[in-house]
Amino acid sequence: MDEWLQERYSLAKGRISEICTEDTVRQPFADFFRKTAGFLKKTGEILERQTEDLTLEEYQKENRELYEELFPENYGTSYGNPAYAQEMLGEYGKPFTFLFAELRGSIPYAYEKKWWDYIVGAELFLEIHSAFCEEEIPSVKNVQEILRSYVNDYCQDMMEQRIAEGVDPGRDFAVRIVMDSDLDDLRYLYRYGEYVSSNETGVAMFLAGLSQDEIDSMARTYTEGYRIGFINGRKDISKKKTVNIRYNLGFERMVRAAVLQFRQMGLEPVIYRHASHAVNRGGNARIGFTGGIANPQYDYDHRQDSALFLDSDFVKRKLRSMQTAYEKYRDLADVHGGPACIETFGEEPFSPQAKPEAWTLTEAQQKLKVELDNESGQIVNRYIKGDERSFTIIAYPVPEIGEKFPEIFREIVKINTLDYKLYERIQQTIIETLDTCQWVEIKGRDGNETDLIIHLHTLEDVTKQTNFENCVADVNIPVGEVFTSPELAGTGGVLHVKKVYLNGLQFRDLKLVFDCGQVIDYSCSNFESEEENRAYIEDNILFHHRKLPMGEFAIGTNTTAYVAAEKYGIGDKLPILIAEKMGPHFAVGDTCYSWAEDTADGREIIARDNEISILRKEDISLAYYGCHTDITIPYEELGSIRVIHEDGETTSIIENGRFVLPGTEELNRPFEDTSLR
């Protein structure tokens, strides 16, 4: 640490220590400042710590003390809870709950020894505290201006750091933990600074009981999926030097094996934490490595904290900062291959509570957010080119899924390694039938009100062209599905699912109405009022776009996964990665070929574009939405999938949740296998 930073830290440290005991701020604000000063003092001690040699019990105690305020049983009296902040501080509640969330970042900064990040947060706290030491307290507007100035002043630095973490293998905090730790000693889990729950320790202990061959095999499925994704996409992996590994704590044994396998491919790992600074946070999704979530309601409450500062000037500033940062790291970005993600599932389903006290984007800000996401995507694509990068995603359960966790884990390992040649052959039979028509009809049953017509692109030569991708286990593990991007004109009807989990959030009785391939109406039954239900969909499916097109229509074929889900009663806990393979699914947003529509293919897939994505040839800002949300109809709610021929006759692919097309009978075997029930 340089001398200037050391001096700033010493000054901040001394003042924070004084605030812990002094009584210079009037109530009701004094309580917030004393508690927060105590928190910063604690994280400052961790920042200064030279060695990580605590006992397991000491680490566990420290971890709990750092996160217990967010636990559901304590959240009712936490300033991180917007409702409590407003109850205690009135109109000052919103800026103070924002400050609370921003200062939570001092935990990871302390463990990673990010002195600058810690210091600027501490100085922000002290600036606001100083304002409240005056005889006349500052107005709410003045407090918000201090917070906005902080965001704007440090936007460039925070963006540059975030982008560097995404492409520079030299920033190896997490890599060193993975590769250098004794993974039999669970203390390593606590050295990240993330919340460590029984899920993280449970997965780590379970993997410790597997043989190295089993670990290597799990990693091989994952790394080979990544490599094959490049091959199938006709992309040259030899041009790439880095891969971004994303995972949940507890999977380090598999990650270590994957690092060694990726290195054999010539790829160095880039591993970064999910974002902490408000400048970089977006929604409640965690992009990067993460530990447990102490309270999903807290993450949900702060998903739109950017409402404090999101205006046209900030959009310009952030985009300029991104451009400058990517230009600085352009050589590293150019050889970056894209993400390889290990996702988890099995947590208790979460249905959030909507809080009017939380920060919420205005309609004008929603439009600015769409603009920012669109322009950001274009900048990223200029430096990490979409037609040259790839990805892979695989998912495993965590112990919270239930007492049969070990059995379920092994079942998922089997599902992730199903015979892709068998699925490839059966799926090609489905594709050949689909390629004989321009229209597909999908209907629900037993209370599912789905009634959709999908318009497919016209094929000029079926021997050389196809509408559908035959998807086996490469970028999306496990097998299997066939998917396409529909023609928007002529695509319409109602999509209905009784219950579905999207990005960790539950939706009940979700209905989307399509006309000309775009969502024109929507509803669900999560909340009492229609207004709250529509806002929930707008926030978490439409992402504030006025309309979204149907970017994908697919037929999932993984009946083995479906029956296993029924057997263990985990259908409501499966991630979309697996759930999308368990019935027809429909994605709203960008197509599956977003940013890579012009990549060469073998047998030409002509359905890479729709009427919106093709606009990239004229104005790229009109072509992409920066989102793609899959919604699956489970087989049990599926009445039929039929292709409609020119003469009006139909050919059934599925009837009453079972495959009936000749050549697909093998897909019904799991339904008949008593060992899977």
In a domain, 215, yes or no: no
pLDDT tens digit sequence for 522-565: 999 999 999 999 999 998 999 888 889 999 999 999 999 999 99
Lowest mean pLDDT among 101-110, 386-395, 425-434, 471-480: 471-480
Confidence of residue 7 (pLDDT cuts 50, 70, 90): very high
pLDDT tens digit sequence for 19-42: 998 889 999 999 999 999 999 999
Domain endpoint, select from 152, 172, 190: 152
Q: Which residues contact 647 (CB under 8 A, 6 or more apart)?
A: none
Give residue 104's domain range: 3-152
Which strands make up the sheet holding 505-515, listed edge to edge?
518-523, 505-515, 487-502, 451-455, 439-444, 638-644, 650-655, 658-659
In a domain, 197, yes or no: no
Please give the share of the chain, as a percent, with pLDDT higher than 70. 97
Q: Is the pLDDT of residue 190 over 90?
A: yes
Q: What is the pLDDT of residue 598?
A: 58
pLDDT tens digit sequence for 33-66: 999 999 999 999 999 999 888 999 999 999 999 9
In a domain, 396, yes or no: no
In a domain, 165, yes or no: no
| Whole-number CA gyration radius for the chain | 26
Q: Is the pLDDT of residue 571 over 90?
A: no
pLDDT tens digit sequence for 305-342: 999 999 999 999 999 999 999 999 999 999 999 999 99
In a domain, 460, yes or no: yes
* Share in percent of the chain as helix, strand, coil (round to 5): 50, 20, 35
Q: Is the pLDDT of residue 621 over 80?
A: no
Report the pLDDT averaged over residues 290-308.
96
Identify the H or E element spanning 455: strand 451-455
In a domain, 341, yes or no: no
Domain endpoint, select from 104, 124, 152: 152
pLDDT tens digit sequence for 341-381: 999 999 887 888 989 999 999 989 988 998 998 899 999 99
Task: Tell me how far apart the alpha carbons of residues 156 and 665 are, in angstroms, rounded to a whole number.
Answer: 58
Say if residues 489 and 614 touch (Cβ distance below 8 Å). no
In a domain, 259, yes or no: no
In a domain, 326, yes or no: no
* Burial category of 191 from C-beta neighbours within 10 Å (exposed 0-12, middle 13-18, buried 19 and up): middle
- State both tokens at 429: 């039979």
Task: Tell me how far apart the alpha carbons of residues 638 and 660 are, in angstroms, rounded to a whole number.
Answer: 13
Rounded (10°) CA dihedral 112, 117, 121, 126? 100
Q: Is the pLDDT of residue 599 over 70?
A: no
Q: Is the pLDDT of residue 515 over 80?
A: yes
Say if residues 450 and 633 touch (Cβ distance below 8 Å). yes
Domain endpoint, select from 134, 152, 170: 152
Phi, psi at residue 520, to the nearest 5°? Answer: -115, -15
Q: What is the pLDDT of residue 145?
A: 98
- State both tokens at 434: 């689909």
Report the pLDDT averaged over residues 661-668.
94
Number of domains in the chain: 2
Confidence of residue 676 (pLDDT cuts 50, 70, 90): very low
pTM of the model: 0.88
